[in-house]
Structure 1
């Protein structure tokens, strides 16, 4: 684990848990966030939170952090409904993530961790706008040639959100029902708790810092997210 990290998307379901996890780990000495509203977490001397409503300033604010965090996590994303249309969603899910990845690389960040989505490279993915957004970000991160890039592709995300997704609670209830009647393994094939995904992201970055990542561009699918973030997780 590096001594400093930055989290983008720290008010979202996964990003919130990434932030809380990093703040709880002794080896992480400081955590920086950039977000449109203050992250909801307990007080911590480690936390350096920047609240900025204008997302066009985020890249420059990221590069202004000194010294630049060696690890940057992006769990940044929105929905078409929240953004007010697919074009506005593209500006956040694709354009802003791409801009931040480029800024982090230019500033000297060694490890970039991006929370993508399962099915991104599926058979019909090139026809789905949401998948195209994720593909574009993944491809950009790969092309930037970070010392270490980590891509997580979770399934449906389960957990409490600051801003509820339309139909999200119903789907989450469905997957919890799957767990109740068919077992944890059945749920794991389609959905993961936000905290599990976050812990997998932090654990993967720690393994990379130790030189134990399996590849320079490490893609972590659902089975390995569960393995890293729950089955093998040690607080």
Structure 2
């Protein structure tokens, strides 16, 4: 087991999965200071108990995130050993594919490279299921996610973890177009097969806990491989069924 609390950083900390992830990390004794860089303050900053371990930097210019992370990592009393990224947006929210690419691909790649340069040991990326299938891999969204995954692998972190969830369930500030109908169909699938439902969609809280659990296992030398891809069924196992952290 890690001899001292894990110092981590979370990118995408105000998003659906990222917000749950920050809460999970702040509540675990195995994790120490949690650094975040966001365009608006994370909600945990308003909680006196949770905020004790939170180092939140607000920076509206995302081009400054990677440089600011390197500065913070170098200046901290305890080096950042683990970085999580659940950064992502939608084409509609970004204003087109080109702008979405800047966030989903370019910014994630910049952060991964900054983390490697800062000596981070473990990098955890929340990607998406099915992006490498024959039908999907040529789509712009899949190319964004696959490009980030490939970069993380090429950088050669001591430990890389890629989570590939299906439909992410939870309350969003702005719902994805068409998601309501799909969620209703997936929700109805529970009555047919819980296992099928779990393979199709996962709660944001479960995905976040799976990311934290996987990073903890990695710190204990229990990751099955240096490049660990966690698919939907194992996300449910790590984040719900085996969650005892």
| TM-score normalised over the length of structure 2 | 0.92
- The match for 2:243 is 233
2: distance between equivalents of 1:230 and 1:105? 30
Separation of aligned partners in 1, 2:173 and 2:93: 12
Secondary structure of residue in 2 paired with 1:120 = coil
Of 135, 158, 163, which residue of structure 2 is paired with 1:147? 158
Q: 1:164 matched to which residue of 2?
A: 175
Give the C-alpha shift of residue 3 in structure 1. 2.2
Aligned counterpart, 1:52:
59
The runs of 5 or more residues in structure 1 that have no matched partner are none
**Hey, what's the Cα distance between the residues in 1 that align with 2:87 and 2:235?**
18
Which one of the candidate residues 106, 109, 114 is aligned to 1:103? 114
Q: Which residue of 2 aligns with 1:14?
A: 17
Where 2:36 maps in the other structure, the secondary structure is strand
Report the CA distance between 1:172 and its aligned residue.
Answer: 2.1
Question: Where do 5+ consecutive residues of structure 2 fail to align?
Answer: none
Contact in 1 for aligned 2:6/2:31 (Cα 8 Å): yes
Shift of 1:125: 3.0
Structure 1 residue 189 displacement after superposition: 1.7
Which consecutive aligned stretches of 4+ in structure 1 deviate over 4 angstroms post-superposition? Answer: none
Q: 1:48-87 counterparts in 2 under 5 A?
A: 48-65=55-72, 66=76, 67-87=78-98
Render the CA deviation track for 1:165-223: whole Å, top value 9, x for unaligned: 222233223222211x2142121121110111111100000010000000000000011
Normalised by the length of structure 1, the TM-score is 0.96
Match of 2:101 in 1: 90
Paired residues, number: 234
